Homo-oligomer: A and B are copies of this chain.
Amino acid sequence: MKLAANPFTRAIREKKKQIGLWISLSSNFAAEVVASSGYDWVLVDIEHSPNDFFSVLGQLQVFAATKTTAIVRPDWNDPVQVKRLLDLGAPGLLFPMIQTVEEAEKAVASTRYPPRAIRGVSGGTRATKFGRVTDYVDRVEDETTVILQLETAAAVGRAEEIAAVDGVSGIFFGPADIAADLGKVGKPMDPEVWGIIKPAAKKLIEMGVPVGTLVLDPKFAAELLNDGFTFVACGVDTSLLANAADDLLAQVQGELS
């Protein structure tokens, strides 16, 4: 049995536009509700949700039946957690809050085996289909998506060096935290935020680095993709549900006599 190809890793390498969705509902059932939408990728978030390894496992199983690639965000740049997520067969990882080249190198190292790096070894995991995947150690590093998230002005200032770290698949800009860092917590759409993200992204795109982000306005998401961003998430499941429920109630209330 061969390791399954990761279509998202290939797509962003080839700069094909990839539309994504944030998944925070932390349930394999709720994940399947959006799994049929046909997004190119989803972000199964641990950082700001109650998710644990069992719930992530259930969600990975859901997306394994689709063409959507599930990228998992650990709650920190934590090699122990990354080891376990890779063993669970996570096709890719989004590392939060990478601030320096050293942190970038640590992130990549947690996804590579010794002697070059530090990932712990287990042969009998879901990632290897419990020992059946014969080319796993040869191909896993090439298939696994490693995306680093820049979330402060200082990190954005080091975007080029960080992107140049060997093994990085792409760079993600985190508007909510960059806004906070600029003293504008709660205002991720503030022009100042995008005033630092856009030029940094432009340089990376020119360097050939796949660049991504999360925004909640579909027009703006498309605009960024049209402008050279490669992977852009355009919504969050919890917000979609909350807004849909609120809007529906308002619609009915608005029609009552």
- A residues with a Cβ closer than 8 A to B are 1, 17, 19, 21, 24-30, 32-34, 36-39, 47-58, 61-62, 64-65, 75-76, 78, 80, 83-84, 87-88, 96-97, 113-115, 120-126, 129-132, 136-137, 151-152, 176-177, 179-183, 185-186, 188, 218-219, 221-223, 225-226, 232, 234-246, 248-249, 251-257
Contact = CB atoms under 8 A, between A and B. Distances in A.
By CB atoms of chain B within 10 A, which of A33, A114, A115, A130 has the most?
A33
28 contacts: A21-B245, A25-B25, A25-B29, A26-B27, A26-B54, A27-B27, A29-B54, A32-B126, A32-B130, A33-B245, A36-B130, A36-B242, A37-B242, A39-B249, A48-B84, A48-B120, A48-B122, A48-B124, A75-B80, A96-B120, A114-B181, A121-B176, A219-B251, A222-B251, A225-B256, A234-B252, A241-B244, A244-B244
B248 A241 contact: no
B120 A177 contact: yes
A50 B65 contact: no
B226 A248 contact: no
A33 B242 contact: yes
Contacts of A1: 36
A78 to B, nearest CB: 8
Contacts of A181: 114-115
The 7 residue pairs across chains A and B that have the minimum distance between CB atoms: A222-B255, A48-B122, A50-B53, A65-B65, A240-B244, A218-B251, A130-B242
B256 A34 contact: no
Given A34-B242, A239-B130, A244-B240, A51 B49 contact: no
Given A27-B27, A57-B29, A61-B58, A176 B241 contact: no
Contacts of A52: 50, 52-54
